[in-house]
Amino acid sequence: MGQVTVRVGGYSHPVSCEDGQEAHLIALAAEVDRRVASVKTMGGSYGEPRLLLLAALLLADEVHDLKVEVAQARAGVAPPPGAAPVPAPAADPRLAERLARVAERIEGIASDLTKG
């Protein structure tokens, strides 16, 4: 089992992953870190668990929107007029599942941090 330490929101977190998935996990953590940074720009003072929760919610919202768009595309429903074009999804069709697992892990980390 692989092990990496990722930095999100200025905090280091050791995370286990499947062998060979270390670079992918680091890239996912970088995306979460970008979301944490965007939450910080919104103002307010949040602790790490709250920042991680808000970043996870931003990611979940984006995944939800993408799922709706995919369902509409499969059903042949045209996007509303003036809707911004959505960039092509990444080559990995299981991205939403992976993001959901990452969000669960983040919630577990946040839960562990609030206990300690």
Structural domain range at position 109: 2-79+88-115
What is the pTM (predicted TM-score) of this model? 0.61
- 92 phi/psi in degrees, rounded to 5: -90, 110
Q: How confident is the model at residue 85 (pLDDT cuts 50, 70, 90)?
A: low
Length of the chain: 116
Q: How many Å apart are CA 101 and CA 107, to the nearest integer?
A: 10
Distances (CA, A) of 49 to 7, 24, 96, 106: 14, 23, 22, 9
Number of domains making up the chain:
1
Residue 32: its H or E element: helix 22-41
Summarised one tens digit per residue, pLDDT across range 27-81 is 999 999 999 998 888 887 888 888 888 888 999 999 999 999 889 888 888 776 7
Percent pLDDT > 70 in the chain is 75
Is residue 82's pLDDT more than 80?
no
More confident call, 22 vs 88: 22
